[in-house]
Amino acid sequence: MTTATKAELTARALKAVAEYGAHLTLFRNAMSEWAGLNVTDMECLRLLFLKGVATPTELARHTGLTSGAATAMLDRLEKAGLIERRPNPDDRRGTLITPAPAAAERVRSWFTSARAAQEELISSYAESELEIIADVFERFTNLWDQEREKLRSDQ
């Protein structure tokens, strides 16, 4: 049983969250370099796998790139066989970006070691602990969405 106070445990948890975020960023940067892509290319792929489809404008906004830089990024990803450009049925001048059919498996293979390590770590917890862990990450996901919306509404 712990003898730490709630304040100490709160500080420890918040420090752990901050360190998790920083170390995840370091891992993502290393993975991007290893894969021969830049960090923004990887962020674009992550967004596409999450959303399934996006316009170049959406990807530019989400990655913070200008339209010209986003076009260059999409050219690189298309050349690497990771994305496809398709006509937008709702806008005949527009384009939709999707992951290339083989991209998901290719990118998934890059993370085999990390996924195995995550599964080993998470399997060491009891069901009741997993409920708490899942709840915390789900709540943090919602928290970041809410904070992002606050930033957008302040613009």
User: What would the two tokens of residue 42 be?
Assistant: 């990887």
Closest CA to 45 of 2, 74, 4: 74
What pLDDT is stored for residue 152 in this prediction? 83
What mean pLDDT is predicted for residues 12-19?
A: 94
What are the pLDDT digits (tens) for 29-80? 999 999 989 999 999 999 999 999 999 999 999 888 999 999 999 999 999 9
| CATH T-level fold of 7-124 | Arc Repressor Mutant, subunit A (1.10.10)
| Rounded Cα distance, 103 and 81, in Å | 7
What pLDDT is stored for residue 77 in this prediction? 95
What pLDDT is stored for residue 53 in this prediction? 95
How would you write the chain as a 3-class SS string? CCCCCHHHHHHHHHHHHHHHHHHHHHHHHHHHHHHCCCHHHHHHHHHHHHHCCECHHHHHHHHCCCHHHHHHHHHHHHHCCCEEEEEECCEEEEEEEEECCCHHHHHHHHCHHHHHHHHHHHCCCCHHHHHHHHHHHHHHHHHHHHHHHHHHHCC
Q: Are 53 and 98 in contact (CB under 8 A)?
A: yes
| Rounded Cα distance, 31 and 111, in Å | 9
Over the chain, what is the mean pLDDT? 92
Q: Is the pLDDT of residue 2 over 70?
A: no
What pLDDT is stored for residue 3 in this prediction? 85
What mean pLDDT is predicted for residues 78-91?
A: 93
Confidence of residue 154 (pLDDT cuts 50, 70, 90): confident
What mean pLDDT is predicted for residues 132-146?
A: 95
Domain boundaries, the chain: 7-124
The share of the chain scoring above pLDDT 70, in percent, equals 98
Q: Are 66 and 60 in contact (CB under 8 A)?
A: yes
Phi, psi of 125 (to 5 degrees): -100, 150
Q: Are 97 and 53 in contact (CB under 8 A)?
A: yes
The share of the chain scoring above pLDDT 90, in percent, equals 77
